[in-house]
Structure 1
């Protein structure tokens, strides 16, 4: 993975997390229940945390392997974006239940990314 791709991916996820966070805090605050808003915010936080990690790793690219990059990237998409889909579809009364099992798969990929990073350091 090239440094530019890693940093660009981090920047994209970071930018989107700010947009989604603002969208949740302002536009969705009146539409979502407290629990739904909390779940949405969890997706935004995890997306931002991992965008920051990718950014740091991008500037220190000797510590990142393609497997780490892909675990974090796909993990963010599956974890955070499935939460967004679940919350928004539930708010409209048509919960996309198939997304339910996607969230823990994304979380598992994030954990594996951290484990691979730990292994890579040693």
Structure 2
């Protein structure tokens, strides 16, 4: 089981934080990550409108042949996306803790401008402590 990466996407669909942890993901350019985040934002918006039972918060898990994307949508519209192996079972808990780290280290920083890229050593450190090298047992 492995955690490959973490993305934070703002409410407009812009990628404000991206970090890879374990080997296994293709190496992409910054622009490619921005395009992927925008595409995921669009897919999430579409899935929130397609629900046959009324209102929906959109896709929560997207699975491929060898990768799972778990999405946490916050009350402010910010999305936390965890890229993991298919067998990873702790994604929801990790996303919740990443959101807590974001709330404490980023949003409480008076010098941070909301919706802008996250450049916080405190947040990076908390994410490193939380996820480490991406390998889970």
TM-score, normalised via structure 2 length = 0.33
TM-score, normalised via structure 1 length = 0.36
Query: Which structure shows the bigger proportion of residues in helix conformation?
Result: 1
Return the index of the structure with the highest Cα Rg: 1
